[in-house]
Structures are given as C-alpha cells and as structure tokens.
A and B are shown apart, each in its own frame.
Chain A
Amino acid sequence: MKNRKFIVFSLLACAAVVVFAAVFASSYPDGLEQVASKMGFENKMSGINLMGAPMPDYGLALFGAGPFSTLVAGLSGLAAVFLATTASGWAIKRLRRSGNG
C-alpha cells in the first residue's frame, strides 16, 4: 500500500475504532480505579479540573453524557493527537536540520 493511501486508510480505521468505542466501551472502572476503590483511597482523588480541560471524561457538556457526546469528543481528540504528534515529529526533524542534532 502506498504511504499516502495507508495514512488516509489508517485514520479512517481510527475513526471507526472511536465510533465502536463510543458505543461499546465497558463502563466498568479500570484497573487503577478498581484498586483505589477496593483499598479505599479513591476519595483522595481531587477531581479538580486544574487546566480547565474542555472535554472531561470524554464528553462535551453541550451534548450531555451519552455515545454521541463521547463520539464528538473522541473524534476531536483523534484529530488533536494526530496533529500534535505530527507537529512534534516535524519539529524534531527541523531541530536536526538547524544543526542541533
């Protein structure tokens, strides 16, 4: 598969994973949450949104809590992660070109 085609195909596959996750992901506590609640230290969690994260718990207040809210948050996150990582990659490459590496 050609590189460009592979990138586009992969990003579509990632979007499909987000759709699947928004509908089917288990809402059980994860390993750490489970340990915290069993050992009785989950109340130490501050839960304060220090940075004012716009989509806490993978949802948008605008759309309430449900698969659609998760879907919109997830797709936004997907785009953000792809752009942030690609930008970091380019930045690292540029640093080398400027003779720093």
Chain B
Amino acid sequence: MHIPDGFLNIPVSAGAAALSIGAVSLAVKKVQKTIEDRLVPLMGVLAAFIFAAQMFNFPVAGGTSGHLLGGMLAVVVVGPWAAMIVLTCVLIVQCLLFQDGGLLALGANVLNMAVIGVLCGWVAKKATNFLSRTAAIFIGSWISVVAAAAAAAAEMAISDTAPFATVLVAMVSVHAIIGTGEGVITILVVSFLKRVKPEIVEDGACRAL
C-alpha cells in the first residue's frame, strides 16, 4: 500500500512528514536507551527480510495482490521502537532506489506503515496476549495492516483524491483480506525463528538483547 506521488496534496504530505519525523525521533530516543551491539545486525537482517518479503506479492480475491508489511514481525523480534526504525529504513530505500512509494508521499508511507501500523499492531498484541501468543500475533498483524490502510484512506480523502467513506470502506475491506495473509506469514516466520533462534522471539527479548 505504498502511496505514489499524486494521491496526496502538499499540506497532507507535509503534515504526515512532520508527524513521521516526530515519531521516528521518539523511536530513536527510546532505542538509544536499550540498544546493544547484538541488536544492530539483527535490525539489519530484519529489514532485509521485510524488504525481500515485500517483493513477494501473493494473489488475494478479485484480481488483487498483497504482500507482507512486516510491522508485527518486527515488533515481535526487536520491539516496537526499533521496529519503527527498521520499517522506516525499508521504506526509504524502496522510495529512493525503486520509486516504490512516491518521494513526496514518503512521510505519509512512513506514518502509515512504520508508525501507525507498528503502534496499532503492538497495542493490539498486548491487549490480546491473554488469549494465546499465536492468536495475539495474528490479531496484531491483521490490525497493523488494516490500521495502515485506514490511515492511507484518510490521507487520500483529506487530499480530496476520493470521498472519505467510500475510500475508507474500499481500502479497509481489501486490506482485511490481505491482513489475514500478514497474520499467517508472521506466525509461520515467528514459529520458524522460535526453532532456530528462540531467544529473539521471546517476549521482552529486545530488552534482554
């Protein structure tokens, strides 16, 4: 759901960029407090994996495709604040090297996927952890995708690209399907990581790292 240039007007692009800069600066401050040597290459690998996985579009209903966003996966492995930084790095490289997501829309794409997606997924996972960890990861993944889609819809509506209610319903309904793919892939990757390197996917692991 990388927004290309042309869908957002200048005030919305600028506002979203300002919010993103604020949120990512806060994330940098939070990560500074806990970052250890071991976390750094792990962030690099995680970003690389999310980039690779985002290249794999899987078909969903009605001639549409979707791909992993990776926000919830990043939250599970490195915690929410480092996850924001990881996702932001991926989005910047995709924008600058591949024109995947517009340059003027970069702030909005960071806001939707790296900030709103990550935070909503993290909160949803925390709120549902009492069910089971797997269920919480699935719900968090789904929420992260749907929340990012809703934010993108709101930005396009404020930019007068499309009427609010219609674009919101359309974006949320298609991403509700893509979000289930996000949930399944995230659970598969986390259970694989649990087998090969359990210490990085345990709750609170990022603090221990």
Contacts and interface: CB of A to CB of B under 8 A. Distances in A.
B201 interface: no
Contacts of A6: 45, 196-197
Given A50-B104, A80-B93, A35 B52 contact: no
**Could you say which interface size class chain B belongs to?**
35 or more
Interface stretch (B14-22, B28-36, B121-129, B135-143): B28-36
Nearest to B64: A34
Contact of B33 (A28, A89, A101): A101
A82 B86 CA distance: 10
A48 B67 CA distance: 24
A53 B49 contact: no
Contacts of A78: 48, 51-52
Interface in B69-95: 85-86, 89-90, 92-95
Interface string A21-54: 1101111111110111011010011111111011
A47 B102 CA distance: 8
Contact of B59 (A28, A32, A82): A28
Contact of B96 (A9, A51, A85, A92): A51
Nearest to A59: B98
Contact of B45 (A14, A51, A56, A73): A14
A35 B51 contact: no
Interface of B: 1-7, 28-29, 31-33, 35, 37-49, 51-53, 55-60, 62-67, 85-86, 89-90, 92-100, 102-104, 149, 152, 156, 161-162, 166-167, 170-171, 174-175, 178, 196-197
Nearest to B152: A32
A11 interface: yes
A90 B38 CA distance: 11
A10 to B, nearest CB: 5
A58 B32 contact: no
Interface of A, secondary structure class, is: helix
A62 interface: no
A26 B65 contact: yes
B63 A34 contact: yes
A21 B52 contact: yes
Contacts of B100: 57-58
Given A74-B55, A96-B35, A55 B162 contact: no
A95 interface: yes
